[in-house]
Structure formats: structure tokens, C-alpha cells
Chains A and B, each alone.
Chain A
Amino acid sequence: MPANDLHEPSFRHDPANGSWDRVLPGNKSFQRGDEIPKGGGGGQSGREGAPDGEGEDALGVLLSPDEFLDLLFDGLSLPNLRQGTGGEIEAEQWRRSGFVRDGSPSRMHVARTMRAARARRLALRAGKRRALEALQEEREKLLADISARKKQQDDVSIEEERLRDIDAQIAVLQRKMRAVPFIDDSDLRFAHIDRHTQPRSQASMICIMDVSGSMGETEKDLSKRFFLLLYLFLQRQYQNVQIVFIKHHSVAQECTEREFFAAREGGGTLVSPALALAEEIISARFPADEWNVYLAQASDGDNYFADNAVVEEVASRLLQRLRAFYYLEVNRDDESHLLQVYQELAEFFPHMVCTRAQQREDVYPMFRELFSKPQVLEHG
């Protein structure tokens, strides 16, 4: 996590430049005039602090896996999600629901806490207050009595004794009343929030990965990273998104998530069977008026040249039914014919999105970019 935003600047010297003199403890063998090479040799410790005693602040923050995923996918969403197709995809929402006695300090509800504290104080003091009032009343009577008797020069020693007794009792009561704490742990109230799921609409994601022989280690690695992010993202942000995995070389095959991520195959490449399979699955399981269907495909772009025409045909049919079509081309220096086909389609269909990744570092930024901009789509 970059500490830049937390850096507190000030005017300070730069110890790396400029000449300085410094006194150090623990000389063992140096004589005057000795030279010590810079940069760690000759026993000079690498840990040269700034002479001003101010270095860069390193601030580490521990995140739970959940928090990490929250950050990872913060602000991302499936584009073009149509609402109210009546069904099962649910978006989660946090909603306030009542108050509890335990919670994180940031959710403490001050008004409720103070109310509880006041109630407790009132309750604990009520009895003493009554006793106090009674004593004070008696004290006043006694004082009147004493002064009356004094006027008649009667003996008041008993009354004064009683007065001292009352004063002592009053003092005790007052101390006890003060001892009732202003706020007690048991007064604390916290706003409670709860997860509520709201039915929104239903969606499915068709994942297509090329596992043919031309896909080397790097290509597979990049593709799998992309799909892994996609998978985590869908699992975390949405409930009940149907995910369909298709792997293909010259033949396409629907598979489980486990088979998909562990896939190792070889052989030549045909892309159209995979798209055809996708189309078949969509027709069978995800009727367009009920489902938001998305498709993501990763490939190195190698395809039998003749197949590209078929791909174009199937893809343009598919695009009529998809909310978005993501094509990720991995690890190529030049653009493949397949990519060109898709790019031409993208001119007609703004929800056809093509992107490329050549190294690991590209994958996450690319993923963020794909899912952070809501795309506009008007069809179907």
C-alpha cells in the first residue's frame, strides 16, 4: 500500500549528498586517516539513518482476506446489467437494523449510549436521592429546633449530636451518588447493521479458454489469472451468477471449474466450435428476456484461417444476445486475425470489448479497466 498519502513533508537535509562529519561508537581497529569504502564494505553498517533522525515512514496495515478482496474489486461491476428480469441474482446490501450492546467503536451510537447511561444513573441514584431529601428536611427542622431552644437557653447537645450524625450521613450519601459512574460499559450501544440481499436480476457468465497446443505456459498463466480474477469477482460481488466454463482446442467442451483451471491439453485450434457451444448453452438455459448473459474468452489468437469467417458469423449472432463480450488476447507481439475479426465487430457492437495482456502485471489493471466503466448498450 503506498505510504505517499501519509507522508508528512518538511524541510530536511538529504544525507546522501553533501559532506558531513559524524561521531560513531564502537571503533575496533580504525586509525586516524583510514578510509572506509562506501556502500557497505569494510564493516560500515548499511543502516545509515538520516542525521536528522527522520526517515521515510513505513506504515503497514493488516488486511483480512475479505478486506483485501473488497479493495481488489472496489468499484467494479458487471456492465449493462438489466434490472428486474425477475429472478435470482441478488445484490447484497448493508442495512441498519436496531441496536446492540457490542460492536466496533466506529458504530457507537452516542445518543442511545447517553440515554442508557442517564437511565442507569437515575435508577442508581433515585433511592439515595430520596433518602438525601428526607435527611435534608430533617436537618432543616433540626436547625430551626436548635435555634428555638437556644433562644430559650435550653440544652441543645442532643440535637447537635443528631445534627452531626445527619451531616455525616449526608456526606456519605453524596459521596455514593458521585461514585455512580457517568458512563459504564453496560451503557454502550452500537448501531447494528445487517446484510440484506435484494433480488435484482439474474446473470450468467460464459468463460471460454483456449487450451490448444499453441498456448504455452505463459499464455495459459495469463488466461488463468484473468479467469481467476473474474471468478473471484463474480463470487464475491454477486450471488447466484451462473458461471459456465468452456475449454476448447479443435473441439469445445463444457467442463467444471476444477477441470477448467487445471486444463492441460494440446492439439490444433478451432474457435468457432466454442462459440457455437456457447450459443447452444445460452439458447437452452438462458433465455434472453430472463437472463443477462456475458461471455469472456481468452486465447492466443491462433485459429485456422478459414475458421475466422465462421467465427465472425457466430459471434455477431451471439452479440445480439450478450450484455457484453470480452475478448482477451494473451502474449502476442502482433495482433492476430482473430483479434482483427473481433475488432471489426466492435465497431458495430460497442459491448464487444477487446484487450491484450503480455505479462502478469498487465492482468489486474486490464481487469479493473474492463469492469470499472459502465458501458452503454441499447438492444434486446
Chain B
Amino acid sequence: MVDRLLFSDNDWSFSRLDAVDRACAQIAQEELGLDTYPNQLELISAEQMLDAYASIGLPVYYAHWSFGKQHAIESGQYKRGEMGLAYELVINSNPCISYLMEENTMTMQTLVIAHAAYGHNAFFKNNVFFQQWTDAEGILDYLSFAQAYIAACEERYGIQEVSAVLDAAHAIARNGIDRARRPRKLSAREEEMRRQERERYLEQQLSEIWRTLPPTSSPERPAQESRFPPEPTENLLYFIEKNAPQMPSWQREILRIVRKINQYLYPQGQTKIMNEGFACFVHYYIMHRLHETGQITDGSLLEFYASHTAVVFQPDYDDPRYSGINPYALGFAIFRDIQRICSAPTEEDRRFFAFAGDPDWKKQVLFAMREFRDDSFILQYLSPKVIRDLHLFALHNDPENAAYRVTAIHDDAGYREIRERLAQQVAQSSRPPNIVIDKVDRWGDRHLELRQLDAMPLSEKDAQSTLEMIQRLWGYDVFLSGNHPEFSLSARRD
């Protein structure tokens, strides 16, 4: 038992932050057994927080008008009081950088350190999805390389030019991710860059797919029927970067930058519920332990409850504040429930979960944190109790019907269905429409054919303008066809 108050009034100072950090580290590491990157805490103003928001929370980012737009929207909302600022922002890098707002009280700073510097940090380091997809060592390097490269391009080719390429790249950024394949590590090391530059140069000189001269060894022209690409490919951005017939190499590099950064951000979208849920779980545990060991006052604990409940609050579907499932609420509820299923299982839990009653709940929680992503996490761990607590129900929309139909509610018959539907919904919401590159007309007018594989209708106006963006990058006609025979769009060269 420590029994010494870390602070008694609410002004923060660097030495207090340091003491709090050490106290949190002790609980996180020794009691919860969390493994984290080293922490770097930065204090920033509300203004800076808005800036950071606008660049998707990345500390260094290239310039693009859409970030300015984001900033204008958010600072407007903030000033009108429509939006509170997050108390923290945390970067998946090594060391792990957490931004704390200087307006926060000491209690809030403690909460934020527990939440970001230990919760998120441990998640970044241990979740298998982050481990596979991101390189915490290289990201800051890569971002500053990207920033400098794009600034240099603006200098050389003009802001308008560069901005047009970025606009187009952003339009298909969500279709620029290899889902099945684990990407090579991000890297900005110089040899690597030089090597890629050389490689690209060679590729352009000798690009197989645009070779129209028949190889001297065989007198026959290659069979025209041979498709290119041999199989439909889902990474539009990558395909265009590699194969656009006449794209200057700096534009290819910009596509590559957008692609790499999106690749880096991809796991965050895939694990939002888990990531936030786990961070909430960690701060909840740490704050209580700090209180139990007499390191924070009752008043601090109450202040903590106020902001904690605000964060994990889930408005009902008919509440004006409702804007979808709150990932903090759902994730926190599930992680807490895992702990409960271990320490106080009911009959129902035993039927649903093999690990019910496991004396070592920490092991189970950490296992859940490490090995899943949102959809599989829900499939694995969403319990009847959480479904009942949140009063979840499933709704089906048939466009032919004048009414929605309730397909499952929180009862015995509905638990599994709700769990599956929610997992699907979560998986789907992080995925863009499934659009692949079907074919390039290699021997003719070089037009590009895209095909939509999923059955959900596209927003047509958006699809048309996106197609025009692709056309701009590709340089030749672009077509999009869908599942319904009557659906087809095209963007042609002027």
C-alpha cells in the first residue's frame, strides 16, 4: 500500500505528471502485466489539438486543402459548443507519443495517461493486427519524408497540379489497401528509397505490359486474349501506381505515399471498438487502484466518474444524440464482461464461454486484446448480458418494403443472431464497396475496366466523380460495371 496522495488540488505541473506517470506505470506493468512502448507525453493547447485532429491525428502530415476544410468544420463546431475536444490523442509510434491538453485538470491528465499512454500504447504494441500491419519504428520518419516530398513536388510542379493528384488519390484511398496480404514494412530509410527509385525507373523503361513489340525470339504476337491483370485486383491505388501508362514518376510516388499512409491507418479502423474499449478498461482499472491505494482523493475519483461515464455513454437509437454504436461503450462493456465471466460466471456464461470461471482473468483479457479485431472480437466475446444491458436489437431493411422489420431482440432466440449481425455490420462499415480492376485493354485504346463485386447499390453521383478522378490518373477511358446488368458508368478522355 502506497498511501500517499499524488496531488490534492487540480493544477497540473510537470513534476506531478511525472509522479502520476510512474504510479500508472507501476499498476499497468506490475498488476495488469501490460507490455508497452516507452512513453513520450506532450502537452498541447486546444488550438493545436484542433490542428492535430484535422490531420487525422498524425503529428507530421503533408499539406492538402481537405485538412483545412476539416479544421474549419471542427473549429466551427468546437466554438459553437457542438463538439467537445478529445482530452487526448495518441500516436502509434515508438516511442508512443500521447498529446495531453493543457486545459485538462490533474485528474483528467491522470485519466488520459492511464488511457492513452498505457491502454492504447499496450494495444498498439501487442494487438496482432497492429503488429502485422504497421511499423511503429518507421512511421514518423516516413511521414516527414512524405511531407518533404510533397512540398518539393508543389515547388516544382505547382500546388494545383499536386493537389489534383492528391484529390484523386484520396478518392480511392479506401480502395488502396491490401486486405489479404500483409504489406511490407513502411520505411523511409534512404537506401530503400533509392532502390525503389531505380526499380521504378527500370520498370518504366521496360514495362512488360505496355510492350507492343513482339519479343524477337518468338515470331508470334502474344495471344491477345491473355488478360491483364491475370486476376482481378482489389488494390486500385497500387495497380494505378504501377501500371498507369503515362504517369510521371513523381505522381506515382505521391500515390505511393497516400497508399502507405492509409495502409498504416487501416488497422485503426479495424480495431476501433477493441482499441477504445481496452483503453477504457485500463484507465478504469488504474484509476480505481490509484484510489484504493490512497494516491488520489475521493473528489478525483468522482471527477473521473463524470468523464468516464460521458465517454462510455451509449444513447438509445431514438435519442437525438444517437449517432451509431459508440465504440467506447461497446468495447468497454465487453472487456469488463470478460473479467466478470472469469471471476463470477453464471450458468448462461458457462454455456456460452469455454473460459468462464478461469481464475486468471488478466490472462483472458490480454489474450482477447492481442488476438482479435473488431468483428472477430464481437463474434467471440459479445455475451447475452451485454446484449441485454445495451438492449440491442436487429433491424432489416428491404427496399421493396414500406417498413423495417425487427429480426432479433435481446432474448434467448436472438443472442446469436444479434452477435453475428453486429459483427458483420462492424466488418462492413470499415470496408469500402468491393470494387476491383477487372481488365486493361492492352492492345487497344488502353481503357480500364472496373467491376463492383458486392450487391449493395453505390451512390451514383459519388461513383461518377470518383471514376473521373481515376480517369485523370489513368489517362485513358475508365469504365465501371456492377452486378446489375443495367448499371454501368464511364469516364472518358475529353
Contacts and interface: CB of A to CB of B under 8 A. Distances in A.
Interface in B245-270: none
A104 interface: no
Contacts of A33: 405-406
B131 interface: no
Max chain B C-beta neighbours (<10 A), residue from A12, A24, A38, A51: A24
A65 interface: no
B432 A12 contact: yes
B242 to A, nearest CB: 20
Contact of B317 (A10, A25, A34, A62): A25
Contact of B319 (A7, A26, A59, A61): A26
Interface in A37-64: 37-38, 43-45, 47, 49, 51-53, 57-62
B402 interface: yes
Contact of B72 (A21, A49, A59): A59
Contacts of A305: none
A11 B167 contact: no
A20 interface: yes
B410 interface: yes
A252 to B, nearest CB: 51
Contacts of A30: 393, 406, 409
A18 B400 CA distance: 9
Given A36-B395, A43-B318, A57 B73 contact: yes
B399 A18 contact: yes
Contact of B322 (A7, A21, A34, A45): A45
B316 A11 contact: no
Contacts of B324: 49, 53
Interface in B7-52: none
A25 B172 contact: no
B57 interface: no
Contacts of A10: 170-175, 432, 462, 466
Interface string B308-319: 000000111111
A23 B174 contact: no
B463 interface: yes
Contacts of A60: 76
A11 B402 CA distance: 27
Interface residues of A, number: 44
A239 to B, nearest CB: 34
A8 to B, nearest CB: 6
A379 interface: no
A45 B317 contact: yes
Nearest to B396: A21
Contacts of B76: 60, 62
Contact of A24 (B66, B317, B457): B317
A32 interface: yes
A47 B320 contact: yes
Interface stretch (B107-115, B197-205, B366-374, B419-427): B419-427
Given A8-B66, A24-B392, A59-B69, A18 B457 contact: yes
Interface string B424-447: 110011001101000000000000
Contacts of B428: 51
A231 B324 CA distance: 51
Given A34-B405, A44-B318, A59 B73 contact: yes
A11 B462 contact: yes
Nearest to B321: A47
B455 interface: yes
Nearest to B403: A35
Given A9-B465, A26-B315, A31 B429 contact: no
B456 A20 contact: yes
Contact of B457 (A17, A31, A61, A62): A17
A22 to B, nearest CB: 5
Interface in B454-488: 455-460, 462-463, 465-466, 469
Given A17-B399, A27-B410, A11 B466 contact: yes
B95 interface: no
B324 to A, nearest CB: 6
Interface residues of B, number: 66
Nearest to B70: A57
B413 interface: yes
Contacts of A61: 72
B172 A11 contact: yes
Contacts of B393: 23-24, 27, 30
A6 B170 CA distance: 13
Interface string A148-169: 0000000000000000000000
A20 B397 CA distance: 5
B323 interface: yes
Contact of B325 (A23, A43, A58): A23
Interface in B161-175: 167, 170-175
A9 B468 CA distance: 10
Max chain B C-beta neighbours (<10 A), residue from A9, A18, A28, A52: A9
Interface string A192-209: 000000000000000000
Contacts of A49: 323-324
A32 B408 contact: yes
B407 interface: yes
B90 interface: no
Nearest to B330: A25
B391 interface: yes
Contacts of A23: 325, 392-395, 418, 421-422, 425
Contact of B391 (A13, A25, A37, A62): A25
Contacts of A47: 320, 322-323
Nearest to A11: B433
A19 interface: yes
Contact of A25 (B314, B456, B457, B459): B314
B155 interface: no
Contacts of A25: 314-317, 322, 325, 390-392
Given A10-B174, A11-B462, A32 B407 contact: yes
A14 interface: yes
Contacts of B72: 59, 61
Contact of A38 (B171, B404, B414): B404
A308 B175 CA distance: 70
Contacts of B318: 26, 43-45
B466 A35 contact: no
A40 to B, nearest CB: 11
A320 to B, nearest CB: 49
A118 B85 CA distance: 38
B76 to A, nearest CB: 6
A9 B409 contact: no
Given A26-B318, A27-B391, A45-B322, A51 B425 contact: yes
Contacts of B465: 7, 9
Contacts of B463: 9, 11
B191 interface: no
A21 B456 CA distance: 12
B458 A14 contact: yes
Given A11-B462, A11-B463, A21 B432 contact: no
B220 interface: no
A61 B69 CA distance: 10
A110 to B, nearest CB: 15
Given A9-B171, A49-B324, A52-B429, 15 more contacts: A6-B69, A8-B171, A10-B170, A17-B457, A19-B397, A25-B322, A26-B315, A26-B318, A27-B317, A30-B393, A33-B405, A35-B406, A37-B404, A38-B403, A47-B323
6 contacts: A10-B175, A11-B435, A18-B457, A26-B315, A27-B392, A38-B402
The 10 closest A-B pairs by CB, nearest first: A26-B316, A9-B465, A35-B403, A27-B393, A24-B317, A14-B459, A17-B457, A23-B422, A34-B406, A27-B391
